[in-house]
Amino acid sequence: MPYMNLKDADIYYDLQGQGMTMVFIHGAGGNHGVWWQQMPYFSKWFQVVTMDMRGFGLSREKEGSPGAASFTSDLEALLDHLKAKEAILVGQSLGGWPVTALTAKSPQRIKALILSGSTGGIDEPALRKRMVEAVAGVEGLPMKIRALSETFRQSNPVRADLYRQFNTYNSPDAPIKRGRTLGPTPEQLKGLKVPVIFIGGEEDKGLPPDALRLAHKCVPGAELHILPGVGHSGYFEQPAIFNHLVHAFLKKALGAKAPF
């Protein structure tokens, strides 16, 4: 199994394909396995990497780990480990925080940013307030209910249970909140030249469409797509639509570098 060994964590990652590096980072309910519908599709053109953030899946934290505060530096270290001079980043929910933070820090290295069911942790007062309200509305609900729409759970009970099973591979002590830091401000993103796309779900209760629109307004030139009948995890519920949106976005974003 491929691991990147750091002084305070062992980070697991999976790799498939060749070409420009494309990293997928899961949310709080997932791990590297949740991207099973994206990895075989995009690895036809890219070197696709799925990683477990420290404390999730097969990654391990060591004593004294700063937890979520290291998510961004772990991602940066992984790109260095893979000798990836440039990369495409995809972040779902919580995973959108480190990919956005690294994009703001090293925009010359990131060729495109895809945020799925995520605000990217953007630090904007109205957005923070709305997210506090939204999170309070789903507090205490099982992860499967928080992450998947009712429409999907009723019509796809087997795949909904598969999502639940992925979640059981995470440590109950996973650093969902421990050490988490706020992301970039709208001011820091104002001059961002990296192409960005937000993909959300019409039935997402944890990140309602109005909150996602607030995040979208913070990134000039970004695209926004709200998928009808979809909850928090559009990549899982409607993979064909999600993959098509990302494919079309990357074709525009990469221009002459697009391998399509």
pLDDT score recorded for residue 11 = 98
Show the tokens assigned to 21.
């590096």
State the pLDDT confidence band at 236, using cuts at 50, 70 and 90.
Answer: very high
How far is Cα 75 from Cα 229, in angstroms, rounded to an integer? Answer: 32
CA neighbor of 62 nearest in space, from 3, 2, 131, 137:
3
pLDDT score at 254: 98
Q: What is the 3-state secondary structure (H, E, C) of 14-71?
A: EEECCCCEEEEECCCCCCHHHHCCCHHHHCCCCEEEEECCCCCCCCEECCCCCHHHHH
Q: CATH number for the 3-257 domain, one of 3.40.50.720, 3.30.1330.60, 3.40.50.2000, 3.40.50.1820?
A: 3.40.50.1820
**Model confidence, pTM:** 0.96
pLDDT value of residue 177:
72
Backbone torsions φ then ψ of 164, nearest 5 degrees: -60, -40
Instruction: With cut-offs at 50, 70 and 90, classify the pLDDT of residue 240.
Output: very high
Of residues 179 and 36, more confidently modeled: 36
pLDDT at 141: 87
The pLDDT of residue 147: 93
pLDDT (tens digit per residue) in 100-143: 999 999 999 999 999 999 999 999 999 999 999 999 999 888 88
Per-residue model confidence (pLDDT) at position 175: 86
CA angle 80, 85, 88 (to 5 degrees): 95
Taking each helix axis from N to C end, the angle separating 125-138 and 209-217, rounded to the nearest 10 degrees, works out to 160
CA pair distance 4, 58, nearest whole angstrom: 12
Pick the closest to residue 106 from 127, 81, 75 (CA basis).
75
pLDDT at site 80: 98
More confident residue, 176 or 189: 189
What's residue 139's pLDDT? 85
Query: Tens of pLDDT along 178-226?
Result: 877 889 999 999 999 999 999 999 999 999 999 999 999 999 999 999 9
DSSP 89: E
Q: What are the pLDDT digits (tens) for 48-97?
A: 999 999 999 999 999 889 999 999 999 999 999 999 999 999 999 999 99
**Amino acid at residue number 59:** S
Cα dihedral 230, 210, 103, 86 in deg (nearest 10): 30
**E-assigned strands of 125-175?**
none
Phi, psi of 253 (to 5 degrees): -65, -40
Position 43 confidence tier, pLDDT thresholds 50, 70, 90: very high
What residues contact 250, with CB distance under 8 A and at least 6 apart?
88, 112, 258, 260
